[in-house]
Structure 1
Amino acid sequence: MSSMGSGANRSGCLTSFVIASRDRSPEVVAVVTRLLRESACPIIVVDNGSRDDTVAALGVLAAGAPDRVTVIPLAENLGAVGRNVGVAAAVTPYVAFCDDDSWWAPDATTRAEEIFARHPTLALLAARTVVLPSGRVDELSDLLADSPLGQDPALPGPSILGFLACSSIVRRDAFEAVGGFIRILHFRGEEGLLALDLAAAGWDLCFSPDLVAYHQPSSVRPPDAAQRARSLRNDVLTTWLRRPSGECVRAAGRLARAAAHDEAHRRAMAEALRLLPSVWRGRRRLPRDVERSLALLADT
């Protein structure tokens, strides 16, 4: 692994942007250019083994802004774990995740820093996600705003156990203490396990409608069927990693029923079964209070 750019935070910002990207050179360059123009925060881009000119194109940006842009090329595609590499390279106490098709409102990091400073038990803030070009609010944002977990008056927003990585800001120490994202899940729905692990470690996670992130979904995406199958696979793996045996059996049943109807889910089920040894080694049960929160979410 090598890097280009110093990554030094000379601006005084307390937040770094971390982007994991692969094979989307024009889009990630556009996002980094926008972040350079609209913020003063350091930007760390982790390239997950791109086969296009992503690294070279980002290298041009890094050469022009060596105190702002760090590019970390990886030899392989680590999926969401690429974000862990970016977080490890950050020198700021907070990290705002972007995807190569998402970015933040100019005032978001300053607002988030103020919220984190007032709430030392807060590990993660989920922003309101605006989907472009329509300008609609992402459905998950509406669900988080009306979280059945309610709002503790001592916290800055509704308590949550889910989020979109591309519109979340984390306390770096909390993220690293629980291990960040894990390799088993790779991509799609990897946020659920991280949310559970942060909550299990005693951290708070909140939705903050005052923070805004923008998402303009890339046209370079896997087929919808493959994405749905990967999402279900990762939901099942997350259950197997952390939930009681009864929930594990029910999750396996959902995947098996889906596998009976299409090839994408059959492949997903085969992948899940191959990962069972790794799941067993990484399995640990959640505290009772987190299980109670999950039961409340399931009942609504």
Structure 2
Amino acid sequence: MRTTFVIASRNRAPELARTITTLLDTTDCPIITVDNGSDDHSVAVVRRFAGEHPGRVLAIELKSNEGVVARNIGVAACRTPYVAFCDDDSWWAPDSIGIAEEVLDHNPTVGLLAARTIVLPQNRDDPMAAELANSALGRRPGLPGPSILGFMTCGAVVRKVAFTAAGGFSELLHFYGEEQLLAMDLAALGWDLCYCPELISYHQPSTVRGSSTARDARELRNAVLTTWMRRPVRHCLRATGKLFSAAIRDAEHVRGAVQALVRVPAALASRRPLPAEVERALTLIESG
């Protein structure tokens, strides 16, 4: 096989078991699960699958919650040129991986393909699908779909060499909104990112999840850090102001603002302004 599934999971044993079972039943691809220091029976679940499907399911167990770094560890363990990401509450349509492999085989400049993600049980498109389909960047001749500078990890297939060259996901961000920085860095290296609606991923949100307020605060925090790492100062100030304005509302956004302040020195140490053409593309998307 030329594609490996990589799943980062923590404390969602029932959903993880469902996802692994679905992938085993509908594909032939190897599956790497990286456990982020779970304290439920997730590790036992994956060990059972690994024992029943030796060579097909690999369990990697981390002692603590490393956030998105878990995905980097999973990708590093892959022996295939392509990687399809899953969350523990998401999976792929059976024919999507074959389509992705064919598209990537015929488009060597494409580093990432974003799928159309369907949310279950409502069976509706995730709102992100429409945003990607109607990207302000349009569709350049010769590419398999509209050019994009954002994606959902649970609906992304990457070329391993591109992902590795871009440094994978940033450990500074931990979780939520981590895709934006990786998209920027892939584009900065000259890789194309495309939306490919022929690829279908399914997402049935877990019942084990934090509050929407906490998630929003984390996403705003990471937007600030991402901006300080890559964007012009005017964008940095705007993103920081948005987070601090939100901090007036509730404790979660206060916590996010404090965390951002603590991490800004590390973000500045990693600062690497984007090439002009990538910055122009981002500005076009944001003004669209």
2:24 paired residue number: 36
2:10 paired residue number: 22
1:227 paired residue number: 215
2:76 paired residue number: 88
2:186 corresponds, among 198, 213, 218, to 198
Measured in 2, the distance between the counterparts of 1:228 and 1:248 equals: 18
Measured in 2, the distance between the counterparts of 1:57 and 1:215 equals: 20
Q: Is it true that 1:181 corresponds to 2:157 in the alignment?
A: no
Measured in 1, the distance between the counterparts of 2:29 and 2:241 equals: 46
Q: TM-score, normalised to structure 2's length?
A: 0.99
1:130-279, aligned counterparts within 5 Å?
Answer: 130-279=118-267
Q: Is it true that 1:46 corresponds to 2:34 in the alignment?
A: yes
- Deviation per residue, 1:252-279 (Å, 9 max, x gap): 1111111122111110000000002211
Task: State the shift of 1:250 in Å.
Answer: 1.0
Query: Which amino acid is the alignment partner of residue 95 of structure 2?
Result: D
Which deviates further from its counterpart, 232-241 or 155-164? 232-241
Which deviates further from its counterpart, 123-132 or 271-280? 271-280
Structure 2 unpaired stretches of 5+? none
Measured in 2, the distance between the counterparts of 1:209 and 1:153 equals: 17
Task: State the shift of 1:292 in Å.
Answer: 0.4
Task: State the shift of 1:281 in Å.
Answer: 1.1
| C-alpha RMSD of the superposition | 0.6
Q: Is it true that 1:71 corresponds to 2:54 in the alignment?
A: no
Task: State the shift of 1:133 in Å.
Answer: 0.3
Measured in 2, the distance between the counterparts of 1:52 and 1:100 equals: 14
Matched residues, percent identical? Answer: 55
Q: Is it true that 1:121 corresponds to 2:109 in the alignment?
A: yes
Measured in 2, the distance between the counterparts of 1:129 and 1:250 equals: 30
Query: Which amino acid is the alignment partner of residue 220 of structure 1?
Result: V
Task: State the shift of 1:67 in Å.
Answer: 1.6
Q: TM-score, normalised to structure 1's length?
A: 0.95
- Secondary structure at 2:5's aligned position in 1? strand
Structure 1 unpaired stretches of 5+? 1-12
Query: Which amino acid is the alignment partner of residue 180 of structure 2?
Result: G
Measured in 2, the distance between the counterparts of 1:257 and 1:55 equals: 41
2:89 paired residue number: 101
Task: State the shift of 1:241 in Å.
Answer: 0.7
Measured in 2, the distance between the counterparts of 1:137 and 1:253 equals: 32
Measured in 2, the distance between the counterparts of 1:222 and 1:246 equals: 32
Measured in 2, the distance between the counterparts of 1:172 and 1:206 equals: 16
Task: State the shift of 1:107 in Å.
Answer: 0.6
Question: How many residues are treated as equivalent by the alignment?
Answer: 288
Measured in 2, the distance between the counterparts of 1:144 and 1:165 equals: 13
